[in-house]
Amino acid sequence: KTEELGKARRFDESGARYIEFCKSTVPQDISFSSLRIVLDCANGACYKTSPDVFKELGAELISVGVDPDGYNINADCGSTHPELVQNEVIKHRADFGISLDGDGDRVIIIDRNGNILDGDDLLYILAFANPNRIGPWSGVVGTHMSNLGLEDGITKLGYKFIRADVGDKYVSNMLTKKGWMLGGETSGHIICKDLVSTGDGTIAALKVISSLLLLEKDPSEVLSNYTKMPQVNNAVKVSNKDIVNDKDLLNLIKEIESDITVGRVLVRASGTESKIRVMIEAPEEKVAKKYVKDISDLIKSKS
């Protein structure tokens, strides 16, 4: 019967309410009116609302990735292609560039010099700017992909640092378990639980920029306080992801981990693709590259 069918109703005020909420997360004594910002919305979910957030905060805005056609979401744009905004920042001499992803929960920021700041960098800036180190602010959550340099930098700031499994839901779950406020992934998922319960690229960008304005520092000044360790990644296509438990592979990983010139080794099955992901960090990039190749070659020989 027709009367028993579910019904959908459009809530036309949702966009305006979201814009107002985003603006409310910016401290009242912070002004964006002197900023020129390039914003890439990845032809995705944020194409309509996020530009209005920054415009209504007073920023001079150059928008790209705001013409979705149903097919071009994330196509050569967004947080997985930050070079688009990087070029626009340099071209327009902008203060910041912001690359969101298609569903709006990830963000990568570009500074005025064209330097690309990933999720590790943004997490460090937020931790650096926060004056508290107790209770909900006593720790920060990263993932197994977070750079070893970030872990070292965060702990030197006086925080505890814990790694969750890769995936923003695991970061969120760990934050809830620990009762902490700040966590994120290298890919740009930043969770600020003092503001919102999940990852939101627009809100994270607002908080990072607001923090830098409060500090009266450029990103490079803050990030000079920690050093990333060279990290090399590779994804190997396989027919059977159980290869991660192969005895020869486990022995090779153990052998590499015993090398004092290596920082961290991570070999894991992809959660979404028929791939095994290999990551190695080492003080010298050539060492990491060599061992990533060794592991990748062994995986290929087993698949």
In the chain, the domains with their CATH numbers are 14-223 (3.40.120.10), 231-302 (3.30.310.50)
| pLDDT, tens digit (0-9, with 9 covering 90-100), for 212-241 | 999 999 999 999 999 999 999 999 999 999
CA distance 193 to 56: 24
User: Is 260's pLDDT higher than 90?
Assistant: no
| pLDDT, tens digit (0-9, with 9 covering 90-100), for 176-223 | 999 999 999 999 999 999 999 999 999 999 999 999 999 999 999 999
Arithmetic mean of pLDDT, 254-270: 92
Burial profile 239-260: b = 16 or more Cβ within 10 angstroms, e = fewer: eebebbeeeebeebbeebeeee
Distances (CA, A) of 33 to 57, 108, 253, 273: 7, 21, 52, 44
CA distance 167 to 266: 15
Confidence grade of residue 1 (pLDDT, cut at 50, 70, 90)? low
Confidence grade of residue 303 (pLDDT, cut at 50, 70, 90)? confident
Structure token pair of residue 69: 């056609």
- How many CA within 13 A on the CB side of residue 261? 8
CA distance 67 to 73: 9
Neighbouring CB atoms inside 10 A of 286's CB total 10
CA distance 144 to 121: 16
